[in-house]
């Protein structure tokens, strides 16, 4: 078996939850390595329909140990609610562990996220206002509070009071709002700490042990490549790395330890929030995709912007992640389309660009250059064999493989766990 990193190839919401839920059947460990509860994975399986924000998507299998790793930031209230919801649906969470190194979202992070978005006004980034940006900023500013701190009340009080002294200056002097009470936050978080204590531990040894034994370890990403703070559409990006490289730092493994890197791509593109998206369709085709695929955010309910597949961005994503495989999802959404377009290059002034620009000022002015392929009329959701897919669907996949220079190993043709076709063997 092997270590497989699974990452979003586009702007997030590609269907990572569904693919991980499927692959986890053979896994020993599933470790989420980045982001916070701004990400939401939808999983539909025999237990019901779940929107997981923090708990890894392997939680539904009794043999899987699930880890919320050091690269993730945790809002304890959200996590406790999610654990409760899983219990209520009969899901066992005794194999869930939280890295003692994971940073905690504190009340001032959420408040500051909202105040900063309001201050940006028309230039708002479209954050989920859940405190994710501010908590990652505190992590590198060495002001953060980590899950392990909750296990020692003296340490926790010392770190909280030091951080809050500074945060209250920002709240009162910069934003002119009321200060927060250290005692109140302390009481609330000690209560969370008591409930979370059985889950908090040093987790890297669990991952390392499974990897050393050759058991299947899945490293679960959040959001997508084009939201990465270094390589995404900066500043319209998220605040922790979404790339496969982060799966090492965000867990404990070294760069040589992943055997495969699977990028999840939708058959079209979506984006939530602000920022450039060259293939966005603000017409009835975009609306049709949104309604057919229920493209509304799992975490925020916000309608997602929809458009044709952008192979310029897709190729870039394959490169910056070092993808070995692609899992293509939502191919069924194109059922009944007479033709399907793929963006193969951008027109920028008089130039034709085939690589993804680093500057959004350029990307915002790029016009997509499309190639048009035949669509198919039949429903493909019930098909379980690649050879039975309509020739036009196979042709579409083959053209994407050429344009992206990466094989498609899985194709998903509906939201259900069974609606997936294995095209090439993923496990060595
Ligand atoms: P994630 O964050 O990448 O896991 O993605 P989301 O959960 O935000 O969105 C994916 C949505 O698409 C969920 O509602 C899934 O149930 C659904 N889904 C996943 N794969 C497919 C597919 O192949 N076809 C269709 N129609 N829906 C899918």
Q: Kindly report, residue by residue over 75-85, the tens digit of the pLDDT.
A: 999 999 999 99
Q: What is the pLDDT of residue 157?
A: 98
Alpha-carbon distance values, 146 to 77, 94, 166 (Å): 15, 21, 17
Name the one residue in this structure whose structure tokens are 């299947």: 216
The predicted pLDDT at position 362 comes to: 97
Nearest CA residue ID for atom 13, ligand 1: 42
> What pLDDT, on the 0 to 100 scale, is given for residue 46?
84
User: Are the CB atoms for 3 and 257 separated by under 8 Å?
Assistant: yes
Between vectors from CA 176 to CA 171 and to CA 177, what angle results, nearest 5°?
A: 65
Strand 309-310 and strand 269-271: the pairing is unpaired
Q: Is 355 helix (H, G, I), strand (E, B) or coil?
A: coil
Expressed in angstroms and rounded, the spacing between residue 10 Cα and the centre of ligand 1 is 13
pLDDT above 80 (res 427): no
Burial environment of residue 68 by CB neighbours within 10 A (0 to 12, 13 to 18, 19 or more): buried
Least confident of 126-130, 161-165, 284-288, 405-409: 126-130
Using alpha carbons, select from 105, 126, 106, 109 the residue that is nearest to residue 117. 126
3-state secondary structure of 116: helix
Q: Report how far residue 327's alpha carbon sits from residue 3's, in angstroms, rounded to the nearest whole number.
A: 16
Residues 244 and 33: their CA atoms lie apart, in Å, by: 10
Which of 291, 415, 416, 423 has most ligand 1 atoms within 8 Å of its beta carbon, as the pocket-test mutant? 415
pLDDT digits (tens, 9 = 90+) for 313-330: 999 999 999 999 999 999
In Å, what is the CA distance from 7 to each residue of 143, 182, 205, 220, 223?
Answer: 29, 38, 23, 7, 8
Cα-to-chain-centroid distance, residue 91: 22
Residue 13: C-alpha distances to residues 132, 190, 406 (Å): 17, 34, 20
Q: Is 41 in the pocket of ligand 1 (CB under 6 A)?
A: yes
pLDDT at res. 299? 64
On the question of pLDDT at 1 being above 60, the answer is no
Tell me which of 11, 12, 18, 381 to substitute to probe ligand 1's pocket, judged by most ligand atoms within 8 Å of the beta carbon: 18
How far does the centroid of ligand 1 lie from the alpha carbon of residue 250, in Å?
Answer: 24
Lowest mean pLDDT, pick from 189-198, 249-258, 315-324, 367-376:
249-258
**Structural domain boundaries in the chain:** 3-100+200-260, 103-196, 265-422
What is the tens place of the pLDDT at every residue in 179-204?
999 999 999 999 999 999 999 999 99
Strands (E) in 46-149, as ranges, are 48-52, 65-68, 73-74, 96-99, 103-104
Ligand 1: atom nearest CA of 224 is 3
Is 53 touching ligand 1 by the criterion CB < 6 Å?
no
- Of 41, 103, 109, 330, the active-site residue reads 41
Which pTM was predicted?
0.94
pLDDT tens digit string along 71-123? 999 999 999 999 999 999 999 999 999 999 999 999 999 999 999 988 888 77
**CB of residue 71 inside a 6 A radius of ligand 1:** no
Whose Cα sits closest to atom 28 in ligand 1?
Answer: 415
Most confidently predicted of 19-28, 121-130, 324-333: 324-333
Q: Which is the closest atom of ligand 1 to the Cα of 297?
A: 8
Gap between the Cα atoms of 53 and 39, Å rounded? 6
Does residue 42 have its Cβ closer than 6 Å to ligand 1? Answer: yes
Q: Whose CA is nearest to atom 11 of ligand 1?
A: 15
Q: Is any ligand 1 atom within 6 A of the Cβ of residue 414? A: yes
Told to judge if 109 belongs to the known catalytic residues of this protein, a careful annotator would answer: no
Looking at residue 302, its pLDDT comes to: 83
User: Which residues, other chains included, contact 215 with Cβ-Cβ below 8 Å and sequence gap of 6+?
Assistant: 1, 27, 28, 29
Ligand 1 and 298: CB distance under 6 A:
yes
16 CB within 6 A, ligand 1: yes
State whether CATH 1.10.300.10 applies to domain 103-196: yes
Q: Is 17 in the pocket of ligand 1 (CB under 6 A)?
A: yes
Q: Which two structure tokens, joined as six digits, stand for 393?
A: 């669907």
pLDDT band at 428 (very low <50, low <70, confident <90, very high): low
Decide whether any atom of ligand 1 lies within 6 Å of the 224 Cβ: no
What is the pLDDT of the chain when averaged over all its residues? Answer: 94
Q: Which CATH number applies to 3-100+200-260?
A: 3.40.440.10
Task: Name the residue among 428, 375, 376, 387 with its Cα closest to residue 411.
Answer: 387
Rounded Cα–Cα distance for residues 305 and 321 (Å): 24
Catalytic one of 13, 37, 228, 310? 13
Contacts of residue 374, defined as CB under 8 A and 6 or more positions apart, other chains included, come to: 338, 339, 340, 392, 395
Active site residue 41: yes
Pull the structure tokens for residue 247. 């799966």
CATH architecture assigned to 265-422:
Alpha-Beta Complex (3.90)
Distance 25 CA to ligand 1 centre (A): 18
Count other Cβ atoms within 10 Å, centred on residue 265: 29
Could you read off the pLDDT of 296-311 as tens digits, one per residue?
Answer: 976 678 899 999 999 9
């Amino acid at each position: 078996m092997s270590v497989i990193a699974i990452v979003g190839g586009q702007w997030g919401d590609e269907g990572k939850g569904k693919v991980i839920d499927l692959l986890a059947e053979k896994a020993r460990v599933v470790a989420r390595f980045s982001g916070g509860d701004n990400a939401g994975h939808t999983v539909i399986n025999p237990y019901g329909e779940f929107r997981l924000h923090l708990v890894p998507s392997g939680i539904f299998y009794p043999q899987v140990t699930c880890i919320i790793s050091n690269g993730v930031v945790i809002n304890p209230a959200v996590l406790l609610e999610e654990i409760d919801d899983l219990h209520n649906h009969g899901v066992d969470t005794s194999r869930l562990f939280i890295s003692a190194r994971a940073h905690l979202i504190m009340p001032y992070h959420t408040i500051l996220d909202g105040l900063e978005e309001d201050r940006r006004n028309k230039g708002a980034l479209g954050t989920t206002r859940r405190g994710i940006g501010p908590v990652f900023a505190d992590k590198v500013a060495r002001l953060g509070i980590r899950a392990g701190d909750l296990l020692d009340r003296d340490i926790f009080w010392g770190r909280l009071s030091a951080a809050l002294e500074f945060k209250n200056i920002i709240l009162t002097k910069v934003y002119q709002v009321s200060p927060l009470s250290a005692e109140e936050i302390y009481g609330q978080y000690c209560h969370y700490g008591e409930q979370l204590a059985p889950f908090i531990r040093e987790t890297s040894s669990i991952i390392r042990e499974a990897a050393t034994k050759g058991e299947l370890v899945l490293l679960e990403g959040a959001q997508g490549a084009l939201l990465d703070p270094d390589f995404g559409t900066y500043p319209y990006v998220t605040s922790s790395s979404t790339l496969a490289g982060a799966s090492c730092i965000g867990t404990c493994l070294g760069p040589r330890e992943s055997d495969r890197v699977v990028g999840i791509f939708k058959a079209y593109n979506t984006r939530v929030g602000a920022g450039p998206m060259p293939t966005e369709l603000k017409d009835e085709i975009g609306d049709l995709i949104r309604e057919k695929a229920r493209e509304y955010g799992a975490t925020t309910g916000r309608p997602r912007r929809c458009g044709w597949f952008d192979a310029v961005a897709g190729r870039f994503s394959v490169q910056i992640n070092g993808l070995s495989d692609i899992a293509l999802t939502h191919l069924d959404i194109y059922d009944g389309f007479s033709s399907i377009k793929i963006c193969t290059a951008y027109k920028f002034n008089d130039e034709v660009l085939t690589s993804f620009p680093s500057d959004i000022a350029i990307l915002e002015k790029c016009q997509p250059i499309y190639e048009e392929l035949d669509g198919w009329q039949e429903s493909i959701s019930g098909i379980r064999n690649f050879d039975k897919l309509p020739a036009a669907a196979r042709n579409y996949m083959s053209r994407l493989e050429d344009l992206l220079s990466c094989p498609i190993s899985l194709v998903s043709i509906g939201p259900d766990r069974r609606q997936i076709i294995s095209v090439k063997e993923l496990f060595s």
